[in-house]
Structure 1
Amino acid sequence: MGLLSLLFGWPLAPVKGVIRLGELIQEQVEREMRDPAAVRRRLEAIEEARRSGRISEEEEARAVEEVLRTMTGTRRG
């Protein structure tokens, strides 16, 4: 049984590797998005954009809400 599964599973090994790599990248991105230092930098950038007049107050509120939603892992719905 082991030889047969090895023989038939071998051609799928690259596909399984790519899938696992994608999962690892997704996990790392999610970890970084919830990192308090990264969240603080994003909030500071939004605040600076508002102070300099590049975004409106409503856009600032939406951006802050999106950052906080991302940080907590909740989805819009």
Structure 2
Amino acid sequence: MGLIGLLFTWPLAPVHGVIKLGELIQQQVEHELRDPAAVRRRLEAIEEARRSGQISEEEEAQAVEEILKLMSGPPRR
């Protein structure tokens, strides 16, 4: 990429930076969704909420199903 190419692409550098930042954030979120320790903490929180009476059995089953669906789904690209 010569000097002329650099001159024409330089104004778009902030846009490329924002796109790269968005991609990094997306990768981190996907990692957090599938991290076994994070999933276990969410499942334990749901179980504790059920034991303390904050949510019903149906809400517990729905929340667990949603977590498992997020965890087992294909990675988004």
TM-score normalised by the chain length of structure 2: 0.89
The answer for the alignment partner of 1:47 in structure 2 is 47
The Cα shift of 1:7 comes to: 0.7
The Cα shift of 1:5 comes to: 1.6
- Once residues 62 and 2 of structure 1 are traced to their aligned partners in structure 2, the CA distance between those partners, rounded to angstroms, is 57
Structure 2 letter corresponding to 1:73: G
- Once residues 73 and 3 of structure 1 are traced to their aligned partners in structure 2, the CA distance between those partners, rounded to angstroms, is 45
For 1:1-77, what aligned pairs fall within 5 Å after superposition?
A: 2-73=2-73
- Once residues 64 and 4 of structure 2 are traced to their aligned partners in structure 1, the CA distance between those partners, rounded to angstroms, is 54
Fraction of identical pairs, as percent: 80
Gaps of 5+ in 2: none
Gaps of 5+ in 1: none
- Once residues 13 and 49 of structure 1 are traced to their aligned partners in structure 2, the CA distance between those partners, rounded to angstroms, is 47
Alpha-carbon RMSD across the aligned residues, in angstroms, is: 1.2
- Once residues 16 and 42 of structure 2 are traced to their aligned partners in structure 1, the CA distance between those partners, rounded to angstroms, is 35
Matched positions, count = 74
TM-score normalised by the chain length of structure 1: 0.89
